[in-house]
Amino acid sequence: MKELLEKNNLIKPAQVGKIVEGKVIGKARSAIFLDLGPIGTGIIYGKEFQEAKEALKGLKIGETLFSKIVDLENDQGYIELSLSQASDELTWEKLRQVKEKGETITVKISGANKGGLLSEVFDVPAFLPVSQLLPENYPRVEKGDTSKIIKELQKFIGKDMEVKVFDLDSREGKLILSEKAKEDEKIKEILKSYKVGDVVEGEITGITDFGVFMKFGKEGLEGLVHISELDWQLIEDPADIVKVGEKIKAKIISISESKVSLSLKALKKDPWLDIETKYKKGDVVDGKVTKLNPYGAFVQLTPKIQGLCHISEFGTKSKMETMLKVGEKYKFQILEIQPKEHRMSLKLVE
């Protein structure tokens, strides 16, 4: 610990807020006296003594400990010290060192909530977010059911996990852990043999409300197919497109650090490529309203082609909701077609 302090320039001439090392030279009923060398004699007493009573009661004359200067000279002329404040600061400094060195530590999971797992490192409360779990431990819950996610995460309570310090902030008392960080370097190295545009074959390993996970390659890499990359049509439930265990091909569309993004629709014919042979500006078409939002109404012309009837065509959202109902068919006029942007603007024909 002394080397840690010296390395970070924490041992300096007497100054409030600095950590110092002292030798126990006296004990009283509610005070401990420390020899601080050239800077004088320190004392831990009052509230600071009571807070650290358990840690101090076993100390013997001649033993050394680290404490934090809270006052350069109290009413008795001693340098007033705090053991608890020094302990907190040294703990956070140790955590920073663990992070900087990329050390792997083992923690015991003590709790779970919908966002992740709870634990402690050096008695500091820590949080392991769901997003930082290894793929095999990620809760693959369809439709994002919160109660099911928590139930899956509760399986880890009482178990040990190997993690790394992902982020920390001593001022906010924030300590974030990552289980998958210890695998990141290995995954990055494996990914060097892949490139954007490669077509890979694998198996669907999990389905969530925002997409599906797919394991591919002999190394068992796992990538995410976002819901928007499953098909050219609008997808409400990824489970309607693929099933867990299904063997499928996908195209790599992005590699970022240790993350791989995949696409199924990139391997399917783009329905917008020849759209102008079927539709043109001014055409009146039948369309089914699939969704209403603050921007307007989404209208399905074919299973894979949708257009937007902008809110400006109605004036207000309430008027739009009065004139259109989700699931109903209406006649619309095509105002504009932009094949490259996969965009079509429509107007309700009254």
pLDDT per residue as tens digits for the range 274-326: 898 899 999 999 999 999 999 999 999 998 899 999 999 998 999 999 999 99
Architecture in CATH of 275-348? Beta Barrel (2.40)
Q: Is 329 helix (H, G, I), strand (E, B) or coil?
A: strand
Provide the CATH number for the domain formed by 185-267 in this structure: 2.40.50.140
Q: Please determine, for residue 58, whether its predicted confidence score (pLDDT) is greater than 80.
A: no
Are 222 and 205 within 8 A, CB to CB? Answer: yes
Closest CA to 54 of 13, 76, 83, 17: 83
Query: What is the reported pLDDT for 144?
Result: 65
Is 11's pLDDT higher than 50?
Answer: no
Stated length of the chain: 350
CA separation for the pair 49, 124 (Å, rounded): 21
* Model confidence at 9: pLDDT above 70: no
pLDDT at 86 over 80: no
Question: How are beta strands 296-302 and 305-310 bridged, if at all?
Answer: antiparallel
Q: How many Å apart are CA 107 and CA 132, to the nearest integer?
A: 14
How does pLDDT run across 207-248, given as a tens digit for each residue? 888 899 999 988 888 899 999 999 988 888 898 899 989 999
Domain with CATH 2.40.50.140 in the chain: 2-89, 102-179, 185-267, 275-348
Longest dimension (CA), the chain: 95
Amino acid identity, position 299: V
Structure token digits, residue 168: 């920390």
pLDDT at 312: 93
Domain 102-179, architecture per CATH? Beta Barrel (2.40)
Q: Assess if CATH 2.40.50.100 describes domain 2-89.
A: no
Strands, sheet with 105-108, edge to edge from the N-terminal-most edge strand: 105-108, 160-169, 174-178, 124-129, 116-121, 111-113
- Please write the tens of the pLDDT for every residue from 163-192: 999 999 888 889 999 998 877 778 888 888
Is residue 104 within 8 A of residue 163, CB to CB? The reply is yes
In the chain, count H helices and then E strands: 7, 21
128 contacts 179 by C-beta, under 8 angstroms: yes
Count Cβ atoms below 10 Å from residue 74 Cβ, excluding itself: 15
Task: Say if CB 346 and CB 296 are below 8 A apart.
Answer: no
